[in-house]
Structure 1
Amino acid sequence: MGSGKELLILCLLCMLQECLSACRLGFNTQGSECVDTNECEDDPGPCGKRTQCFNTVGSYYCQCQSGFIHVRGLVNFTGTDGQCQDHNECFSEDACGHNAYCNNLIGSYKCTCHSGYTNTSSVGGHCIDMNECKEAEMNREDICGVKGSCKNVNGSYWCKCQEGFTNYGNKRNPCSELSCDSFSAGSGPAPSLGGLADILSMMRNSCLALSHQLTDAETTGDVLLEKLFTATDAILSPGDLTSSEDVSRLLGVMEDSIMLIGPQLKDNFTRIETIETDGEIAVQREKTPPTGPVHLTNKNATLDTDWATAVGTGSYPGFALAALLTYKNLEKSMNRSFEELTGHEKDGVDPSFKISSRVVSVVVSNPSPQNLSYPVNITLKHLEDAEESSRVSYVCAYWNERGAWSTAGCYQQYSNATHTVCTCEHLSSFAVLMALYPIKHTFGLLLLTKIGLTISLLCLILCILTFKFCHSIKGTRTTIHLHLCICLFMADLIFLAGISQTKPVGGCRFVAAMLHFFFLGVFTWMLLEGVQLYRMVVLVFNATIRPLYLFLTGYGTPLVIVIISAIIRLKGYGTDEHCWLSLNDGLIWSFFGPVCFIIILNVFFFIVTVWKLAQKFTSLNPDLSKLHKIKAFTVTAIAQMCILGLMWVFGAFLFQEGPVAVAYIFTILNSLLGALIFVMHCLLSKQVRDEYAHFLSCICTPQKKRYSDFSSTNPSSSQSPGSQSGQHTGESQI
Structure 2
Amino acid sequence: MKSWGGKDEHGSSEGGRFSGCLDLFYLFTMADKWTLLKLAFILLLLTVQTKGCNDGFNKQNNECVDDDECADNGLCGDNAKCFNTIGSYYCQCAEGFKSSRNEKFKADSPEKCKDIDECLTASICGPNASCKNTISSYICFCNEGFVSSTRMETFHPGNNASCNDINECEEGSVCGPNSSCVNTHGSSYCKCNVGFGLRSGELNYTGKVEQCEDVCKIDETICRNGTCSVEDGGHFCACHAGFTNYGRRRSPCVELDCDVFKVVDILGEKHNIVQDHVKQLKEGCVDLSESEDPKELDGEHLLKVLQSIIDKLLSSEVLRDNRKVSTFLALVEEALRLSGPFVATPGTKMSSSHTELELVVYNGSIIPQGRKKLSTKHAQLEVDMEVAAGDPSHHPGFTTVSLLTYSNLEKSADDFFTGMKPHENQSFKINSKVVTVTVSNRDTNLLKEPVKIKMYHLEQSNGFLHTCVFWDSSEDGGTWSSRGCSTEESNSEYTTCSCDHLSSFAVLMALYEIEAQFELQLVTWVGLSLSLICLFICILTFSMIRSIQSPRTTIHLHLCISLFIANAIFLAGISKTENRVGCAVVAGLLHFFYLSAFCWMCLEGVQLFRMVVLVFNTHFKTFYMMAGGYGVPAVVVAISASVNSKGYGTNRYCWLNLSSIWSFFGPACVIILVNILFFLITAWKLAQKLTSLNPDLNNLQKIKAFIVTAVAQLCVLGTMWIFGCFQFETNSITISYLFTIFGSLQGFMLFVMHCLFSKQVRDEYANILCGLSAPRKRKYSEFSFSHSSKANASKSTQDTGESHI
The TM-score bracket by the shorter chain reads 0.3 to 0.5
Q: Computing the radius of gyration over CA atoms, which structure comes out larger, 1 or 2?
A: 2
